[in-house]
Amino acid sequence: MRLIIIGLSIIFFTLSTIITFKALELPDPKNSLQDDQKLATSESNNAIKALGLPNPRISHQDEKLATSESNNVIERLAEDQNTNRAIVADLQGKITQLEEQLKTKQEALEDIKATDAKNRPRTLAVFSGWTFRPGKNGVNDVALSTIENFVGDIVASKGSRILIEGHTDNIPTGNRQIDNMDLSLRRARAIADILISRGISPKRISVIGYGDAHPIDSNDTKEGRAKNRRVEVKLLPKEPKEGKS
């Protein structure tokens, strides 16, 4: 038994010695990694040379060239930006100029419209057919109230003239001595007489009768005929004085 133990001890000792010896022969893992890297780099360089490819490492000259090109691109972008700003400023100036011209033309147009409106006749009132009974020229109380409302405008418009136009429908008057032309004139005169009674000079008033020549609606209906029976009072602008020759 002792001999067996001694034999096993000798065998374990021998194995331990062999393991220790083998361990001493193993290379340092760090050194091995560095060697592997060097080997890989060397093999990569050899492969690049074999393929005839240029060295991938960037030289100082290449780096300087790349920096110069980058600066040139930045400068061109800055120049383009400045150019665009100048174009925008120029366009804004032209737009402002056009807006001012348009404003001037609009103001001139408004002046023309105002002058034209001032020189055109202005309708003060329209006395509809309900003001007069068919075939009659008498004026009702509503018409009198309307006249009172615009007499002030006539008085305030110094030098202006008043034109009173009478119209009728196409229904005969029923009076052989008075036709629609005469009736329209009588109705216009009835309004003129009221204005004269309110202090308006007869010299400023012109009266005309059109009969049924200028209808504004159909004479086929009662409502249409009532619209056609009307008297229009218009204020004419003051006529400009002729220059002395």
pLDDT higher than threshold 50 for residue 122: yes
Q: Do residue 96 and residue 175 come from a single domain?
A: no
Which of 120, 135, 124 is closest to 195 using CA atoms?
124
Least confident range of 5-19, 76-90, 136-150, 180-194: 5-19
pLDDT score at 115: 61
CB 167 within 8 Å of CB 230: yes
Q: Does residue 55 fall inside a structural domain?
A: no
Q: Which amino acid is at 145?
A: S
Cα distances from 99 to residues 42, 86, 89, 93, 223, in angstroms, run 75, 20, 15, 10, 50
- Expressed as residue numbers, the domain containing 111 is 80-120
Q: Do residue 115 and residue 125 come from a single domain?
A: no
Q: Do residue 103 and residue 143 come from a single domain?
A: no
Q: How many CA atoms are closer than 13 Å to the CA of 174, on its beta-carbon side?
A: 4
Across 11-25, 94-108, 117-131, 212-226, the highest mean pLDDT is recorded for 212-226
Tally of structural domains, the chain: 2
pLDDT higher than threshold 50 for residue 231: yes
pLDDT score at 121: 83
Q: Do residue 99 and residue 186 come from a single domain?
A: no
Alpha-carbon span 7 to 155, nearest angstrom: 153
pLDDT score at 20: 52
- Order the strands of the 205-209 sheet from edge to edge: 122-127, 230-236, 161-167, 205-209
pLDDT higher than threshold 80 for residue 17: no
Least confident range of 15-24, 68-77, 140-149, 206-215: 15-24
Query: Of 67, 92, 120, which residue is a domain's last?
Result: 120
| Residue percentage of the chain with pLDDT more than 90 | 19
* pLDDT, averaged across the chain: 75
**Rounded average pLDDT over 10-25:** 51
